[in-house]
Amino acid sequence: MNAAMELFLDSFWDILLPGLLVTIPLTALSFTFALIIAVIVALIQFANVPILTQLARFYIWIIRGTPLLVQLFIVFYGLPHVGILIDPFVAAVVVFSINEGAYCSETMRAALESVPKGQLEAGLCAGMSWGQTIRRIVLPQAFRTAFPTLGNSLISMVKDTSLAANITVTEMFMTTQRIVARTYEPLLLYVEVGLIYLIFCTVLTKLQTSGEKRLQKYGRR
């Protein structure tokens, strides 16, 4: 029992450090780019831009219809066969961004469509351009509507980053696997890394709840 507790304490920082230096930055970068992709794709569909709308829907269909792990393998292990070499961390950011962007784009599209059409018409009647109306009136309301779902997507992405271990990204899960290979204590160490993921997700859940309360107060003003 003492040996197990000692291993738990000794390995805690060894697992937490890659979480702070790799898992969190990987999540933050990927989700930021995913939001950018999501807004662009959602706006294309919302505006019903010819050809681009069909391309956007094709992109969403492909990404949502194939496993994230397969996408990681295609980019990291497949592209080198055509002469494209990508750093593991960069490959993970690219794949997570593209993958999450497809899901978030549908969230944003639904949020945009939930904004009353009169808001857009009012902005245009006030002399603003379509882009100004979208940026100043429609998007802020859409983001407020989409915030809870986007928050859930961010929390889910924190856990999904564990898949990056399959393309040699030294994040928390890969670090845990290496410690397990050295100590032969899979149950203890996998429970430990699960607890650290739980801590990260709990913090994000608290921030999400706080953000929702702030947006509710803003919406009532």
Average pLDDT, the chain: 92
DSSP 8-class letter at 147:
H
What distance in Å separates the CA atoms of residue 53 and residue 44, rounded to the nearest whole number? 6
CA dihedral 152, 203, 164, 33 (to 10 degrees): 60
Indicate the SS3 state at residue 90: helix
The gap between the terminal CA atoms of the chain, to the nearest Å, is: 57
| pLDDT score of 157 more than 90 | yes
pLDDT digits (tens, 9 = 90+) for 98-121: 999 999 999 999 999 999 888 888
Kind and range of the H or E element at 27? helix 24-47
Q: Which two tokens stand for residue 65?
A: 């219809």
Question: Which of 7-11, 83-87, 152-156 is least confident?
Answer: 7-11
Give the model's pLDDT for residue 123. 84
157: region left, alpha or beta (phi > 0 left; psi from -120 to 50 alpha): alpha
> pLDDT-based confidence at 122, cuts 50/70/90?
confident
Whether the per-residue pLDDT at 190 is higher than 70: the answer is yes
- Are 199 and 159 a contacting pair, CB within 8 Å? no
Quick one: pLDDT at residue 1?
A: 62
Q: What is the DSSP letter of 115?
A: S
Mean pLDDT of 131-138: 88
219 pLDDT above the threshold of 70: no
| CB proximity list for 193: less than 8 A, separation 6 or greater | 15, 172, 173, 176
Of 160, 158, 146, 149, the C-alpha closest to 204 is: 158
8 A C-beta contact, residue 95 and residue 169: no
The tokens for 168 are 């040699």
For helices 139-160 and 24-47, give the axis angle rounded to 10 degrees. 140
Residue whose C-alpha is closest to residue 39's, from 136, 120, 122, 106: 106
